[in-house]
Amino acid sequence: MPRSLPRHPVARPLIGTRIRERRLSLGRRQTEVARRAEISAAYLNLIEHNRRPVGEELLSRLAQALEIDATELASDREEALVGALREAAARAADQPGAPVELDQIAEFAARFPGWASALAGAARRADALERRLVALSDRMTRDPYLLATLHEVQSAVTALRSTASILAETPEIEPEWRDRFHANLDSDSQRLSRTAQSLVAYLDSFEDEAVPMSPQEEVEAWIAAGQPEPSEAAELASDAARAMAQDLLAAQARDRAALPDAALAAAVDGAGEAADDPALIAARLGRPLDLVLRRLGMLRPGPWAQAGLVVCDGSGATLFRLAAPGFELPRPGEGCALWPLFEALAQPQLPVARLIETANGNRFAAWAVAERLLPMGFDGPALSRAQMLIHPAAGRDARPVLGVGPACRICPRPACTARHEPSILGPV
């Protein structure tokens, strides 16, 4: 029979400590929780260090921000400890070894409070680290910049290792070969050094973030997951991302109302040979081309199943991106100045159609158009928005080819007049 839990020597449990522990167990930053609870991060910091009292209403908001019941947050320390131990036991359930004595958790916490706290703390830290690891892993397997950089490191190291071994293993090597390998060592070591610097700088950019994704990246993960309800989507961790997702849904709903799925699908079905020309589809429907481009990219009816879509505002910032197979999109905020999207942005209302080729030889038909918006009337500034629809090119497409890249940093094209920064993939 478990003994009753002794009261903690401190009359009132340290609620700030529990708030902090809960926040850390979720892997969230103070700024994020404070924003949700509608207080400043500095005030939350004082609360977490038990230097400010927490009233009932604020406790309720903090509990909501921390996704925990307010009574649980305010409960006795021993109860919270027992709860944490139960969570730790649940995590260990599928591990080999003797099962955890669940019926003795309360007794364990009472008899060995120090050990129990240490175990609960370790389990929370493991949980937070696991979340961080999953977030980082997600990012590393998706991020084309990281993949390209790591590939570059791997290639340089391979060349260095093989070349150095040749020089070490072959004392009687011919002078011309020796000179060539020395030159290779020099260029590959410089390339490795440059790539390593880029990689470190990049990794530093999200070193201290508990959730290492920008709101734009969260929204893209949400789009990739099929746009589930924003309030319940695990991909949308920040308020900013949820707000962006809601805005996007509203914009898509407006587009869908202006050009319903059935009408677009019927127009594509009935277009015959013209089904691969967005301008002809727009003409058949009597709808603006920009709307048709967005709707084809979103609905992907019939022959448009492999379409991709990029929408940007007048500053070039991407508002929406949906990759087409084989057309690598860079990190949010980056792009290639040669994309027809930006050509259209520079000449609003004039549609652009190009045959483009990525650095690895994949060809795409691209259509882009920009429009001017007057959300504040004629007295306000005119805003621009451009959209680019891309689709794997038909084999018979004989137009001149425009070579494009993903973004300068990971673009291997050595001579490009649009380049604005050196590539990590080639000589500077």
Partner 1 sequence: MTTGVDVLLIEDEPSIAEAVRFILSREGWQCEQWPEGSDALQRIRALAPRLVILDVMLPGRSGAEVLADLRADPDLQALPVLLLSARGMANLPQGADRTLAKPFANADLRAMVRELLDAG
Which residues form the interface with partner 1 (CB under 8 A)?
Answer: 151, 154-155, 157-163, 165-166, 169-170, 177, 180-181, 184, 187-188, 359-361, 412
Name which of 361 and 377 has its Cβ closer to partner 1: 361
Residues 65 and 70: their CA atoms lie apart, in Å, by 10
**What phi-psi label fits residue 3: left (phi over 0), alpha (psi between -120 and 50 degrees) or beta?**
beta
3-state class of 340 per DSSP?
helix
- Positive/negative CA dihedral, 407, 410, 416, 420: positive
Query: Counting beta carbons within 10 angstroms of the beta carbon of residue 94, is it exposed (0 to 12), middle (13 to 18) or buried (19 or more)?
Result: exposed
Assess contact for 392 and 364: CB atoms under 8 A.
yes
Name which of 242 and 409 has its Cβ closer to partner 1: 409
Closest CB 217 distance from partner 1, rounded Å: 22
Q: At what angle do helices 289-299 and 261-269 cross, to 10 degrees?
A: 90
Closest CB 354 distance from partner 1, rounded Å: 20
Closest CB 186 distance from partner 1, rounded Å: 11
Name which of 169 and 232 has its Cβ closer to partner 1: 169
Residues 222 and 165: their CA atoms lie apart, in Å, by 47
Question: Which of 304, 310, 285 is CA-nearest to residue 369?
Answer: 310
Name which of 181 and 342 has its Cβ closer to partner 1: 181
**Structure-block tokens of residue 358:** 């990525």
Name which of 351 and 412 has its Cβ closer to partner 1: 412
3-state class of 322 per DSSP?
strand
Residue 412, number of CB atoms within 10 A of its CB:
15
Name which of 210 and 323 has its Cβ closer to partner 1: 323
DSSP secondary structure code for residue 122 in this structure: H
Closest CB 255 distance from partner 1, rounded Å: 35
Closest CB 184 distance from partner 1, rounded Å: 4
**Structure-block tokens of residue 71:** 């009574």
DSSP secondary structure code for residue 371 in this structure: E
Closest CB 401 distance from partner 1, rounded Å: 14
Query: Counting beta carbons within 10 angstroms of the beta carbon of residue 330, is it exposed (0 to 12), middle (13 to 18) or buried (19 or more)?
Result: buried
Closest CB 328 distance from partner 1, rounded Å: 13
Closest CB 165 distance from partner 1, rounded Å: 5
Q: Which helix (H) or strand (E) holds 57?
A: helix 56-65
Name which of 332 and 412 has its Cβ closer to partner 1: 412
Name which of 14 and 166 has its Cβ closer to partner 1: 166
Closest CB 181 distance from partner 1, rounded Å: 8
Residue ranges in 205-326 assigned as alpha helix (H): 215-224, 239-258, 261-269, 278-285, 289-299
HEC states along 265-277?
A: HHHHHCCHHHHHC
Name which of 78 and 152 has its Cβ closer to partner 1: 152
3-state class of 233 per DSSP?
coil
Name which of 325 and 333 has its Cβ closer to partner 1: 325
Closest CB 358 distance from partner 1, rounded Å: 10
